[in-house]
C-alpha cells in the first residue's frame, strides 16, 4: 500500500506520553515511529537494553509501553528476546498458544548497549536467525551516564571521556560500521535510516524489518540535543544534513543484496553537518582545517565502499 503520512501519524501511540525522555530526543522519535509500523491488532513484546530510553520510559512501577515490555541489562538484550521468541514458538508447537497467534518481537538498544556492551548477544541472536527485530537508536555516545564516547561516536567528537583540550582534538578513532557487521551475519534484513522528510524511509524499513521472517536489524541515527549540542528544534535539518553529506547513508541489505535508497544529487561537504553541532566546535578553530579534511576523507572512503557494494 502507498505510504500515507497522515494515516501513519494518526495511528494510536504505542509509546504513551508521560515518559521522562528530554523534549525533542531522537531516541523517542525513533521508537514511536518504529512502533507505528506494527499493523493494527498485532501484539508485540518490546525488549530494551539499559540507556536513556530504558530509564526514562520504565520507572517502576510505571511503564510507557502499551505492549508487553522487558527491561534488560546491556549485555543480554539480544539473548533475552531470542529466548522469548524461542519460547513462543515452542508454546505454539505444543498447542498452548493458538496457531494463528502472531506476536512480534522488537528490542531497542542505544549505541553503547548495541555497538559495545551487548554486541555478543546481538550477534548470537542474529546468527541464529530468530524471528525478531533489533533496533539501535544511535545517538553516538553513552548519553544517560553523561556523554561518554562509544564505538559509534564520530571521530573528533567532544565527549566527557574524549574531552577537547590542548592535547586532544576529541575522539581519535572513526566510528564502527555496525550495520555492515550485522549484514555480514547474512540475516534476511538490515536497514539504516534516520528522520527524513515525511518519515517514509523509517516507516518502510521498520515495517519490512518487523514483517520479514527471521532476524532483522535497524540502525537509526537518533540525535541527542544534549550530547550533540544543537538547537533542539533543528533535529530534522541535522538528520537531513547527515544524509546529504553521506555521513549517514540510507541503505538496506536484503538477503545479502546491498541497496542504496537515496543518492544525493549534490553531495554536501561534511562541514555543513559538523558546523551545526557544539561537539565539533573546535574543528572550526583556526588551523584545524586539516581535521575537517580528515573527517571528509573518512566519509568519502566509506561512501565509496558502500557504492562498490551496491553496484558490485
Ligand atoms: C553493564 C553496565 N555498565 C554500565 C551501566 C551504566 N549505564 C547506564 S545507562 C548507560 C549509557 C547507555 O548508553 P547507550 O546505550 O548509548 O544509550 P543512551 O543512554 O545513549 O540512550 C550506562 C553506561 C549499566 N547500567 N550496566
Ligand atoms: S540525554 Fe539525549 S538521548 Fe538522553 S533523553 Fe535526553 S535527548 Fe534523549
Ligand atoms: Mg547512546
Rg (C-alpha) for the chain, rounded Å, is 19
How would you label 61-81 residue by residue, b for 16+ Cβ within 10 Å and e otherwise?
eebbbebebbbbebbbbbbbb
Nearest CA to ligand 2 atom 2: 224
**pLDDT value at position 214?**
98
**pLDDT value at position 289?**
98
Measured CA to CA, the distance from residue 149 to residue 1 in angstroms comes to: 41
Backbone angles phi, psi at 122, to 5 degrees: -65, -45
CA 69, 209, 120, 91 torsion: positive or negative? positive
Does residue 208 carry a pLDDT above 90? yes
Task: Give the pLDDT mean for 23-31.
Answer: 97
Ligand nearest to the CA of 143: 1
Mean pLDDT of the chain: 97
Does residue 1 carry a pLDDT above 80? no
The reported pTM is 0.98
**pLDDT value at position 113?**
98
Nearest ligand 1 atom to the CA of 116 is 15
Spell out which residues have Cβ within 5 A of ligand 3, the ion. Answer: 110-112, 139, 143
**pLDDT value at position 99?**
83
Q: What percent of the chain has pLDDT over 90?
A: 96
Ligand nearest to the CA of 140: 3
Is the distance from the beta carbon of residue 113 to the nearest atom of ligand 2 less than 6 Å? no
Is the distance from the beta carbon of residue 25 to the nearest atom of ligand 2 less than 6 Å? yes
Pair 63, 13: CB distance under 8 Å: no
Measured CA to CA, the distance from residue 223 to residue 30 in angstroms comes to: 10
Give, for ligand 2, the residue of 227, 229, 234 to mutate: max count of ligand atoms closer than 8 Å to Cβ.
Answer: 227
Is the distance from the beta carbon of residue 140 to the nearest atom of ligand 2 less than 6 Å? no
Ligand nearest to the CA of 221: 3
The residues facing 210 across adjacent strands are none
- Tell me the three state secondary structure of residue 138: strand
What the chain holds in terms of domains, given with CATH numbers, is 5-311 (3.40.50.970)
Give, for ligand 1, the residue of 50, 159, 178 to mutate: max count of ligand atoms closer than 8 Å to Cβ.
Answer: 50
Does residue 312 carry a pLDDT above 90? no
Measured CA to CA, the distance from residue 139 to residue 158 in angstroms comes to: 14
Ligand nearest to the CA of 51: 1
Quick: pLDDT tens for 156-207: 999 999 999 999 999 999 999 999 999 999 999 999 999 999 999 999 999 9
Is the distance from the beta carbon of residue 227 to the nearest atom of ligand 2 less than 6 Å? yes
3-state secondary structure 238-306: HHHHHHHCCCCCCEEEECCEEEECCCCCCCCCCHHHHCCCHHHHHHHCCCCHHHHHHHHHHHHHHHHHH
**pLDDT value at position 186?**
97
Quick: pLDDT tens for 115-132: 999 999 999 999 999 999
Nearest ligand 1 atom to the CA of 150 is 16
Q: What percent of the chain has pLDDT over 70?
A: 100
Q: How far, in Å, from the CA of 93 to the mean position of ligand 2?
A: 42
Q: How far, in Å, from the CA of 50 to the mean position of ligand 1?
A: 6
How confident is residue 110, by pLDDT bands cut at 50, 70 and 90?
Answer: very high
Ligand 1 pocket, CB under 6 A: 27, 50-53, 74, 110-113, 117, 139, 141-145, 150
Measured CA to CA, the distance from residue 91 to residue 103 in angstroms comes to: 12
Amino acid at each position: 500500500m502507498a505510504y500515507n503520512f497522515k494515516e501513519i501519524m494518526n495511528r494510536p501511540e504505542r509509546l504513551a506520553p508521560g515518559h521522562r525522555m528530554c523534549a525533542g530526543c531522537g531516541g523517542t522519535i525513533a521508537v514511536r515511529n518504529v512502533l507505528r509500523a506494527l499493523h493494527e491488532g498485532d501484539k508485540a513484546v518490546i525488549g530494551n537494553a539499559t540507556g536513556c530510553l530504558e530509564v526514562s520510559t520504565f520507572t517502576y512501577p510505571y511503564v510507557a509501553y502499551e505492549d508487553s515490555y522487558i527491561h534488560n541489562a546491556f549485555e543480554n538484550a539480544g539473548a533475552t528476546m531470542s529466548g522469548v521468541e524461542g519460547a513462543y514458538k515452542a508454546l505454539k508447537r505444543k498447542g498452548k498458544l493458538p496457531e494463528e497467534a502472531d506476536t512480534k518481537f522488537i528490542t531497542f538498544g542505544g549505541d553503547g548497549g548495541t555497538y559495545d556492551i551487548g554486541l555478543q548477544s546481538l550477534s548470537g541472536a542474529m546468527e541464529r536467525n530468530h524471528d525478531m527485530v533489533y533496533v539501535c537508536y544511535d545517538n553516538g555516545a553513552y548519553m544517560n551516564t553523561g556523554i561518554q564516547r562509544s564505538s559509534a561516536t564520530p571521530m573528533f567528537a567532544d565527549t566527557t571521556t574524549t574531552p577537547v583540550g590542548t592535547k586532544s582534538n576529541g575522539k581519535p578513532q572513526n566510528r564502527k560500521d555496525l550495520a555492515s557487521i550485522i549484514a555480514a551475519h547474512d540475516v534476511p534484513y538490515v536497514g539504516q535510516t534516520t528522520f527524513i522528510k515525511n518519515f517514509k524511509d523509517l516507516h518502510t524499513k521498520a515495517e519490512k524489518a518487523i514483517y520479514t521472517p527471521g532476524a532483522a536489524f535497524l540502525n537509526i541515527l537518533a540525535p541527542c540535543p544534549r550530547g550533540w549540542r544543537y538547537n533542539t528544534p533543528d533535529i530534522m535539518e541535522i538528520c537531513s544534513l547527515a544524509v546529504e553529506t553521506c555521513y549517514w547513508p540510507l541503505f538496506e541489505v536484503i538477503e545479502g543484496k546491498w541497496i542504496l535508497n537515496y543518492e544525493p544529487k549534490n553531495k554536501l561537504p561534511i562541514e555543513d553537518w559538523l558546523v551545526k553541532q557544539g561537539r565539533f566546535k573546535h574543528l572550526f578553530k583556526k588551523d584545524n582545517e586539516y581535521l575537517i579534511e580528515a573527517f571528509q576523507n573518512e566519509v568519502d572512503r566509506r561512501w565509496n565502499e558502500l557504492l562498490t557494494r551496491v553496484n558490485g
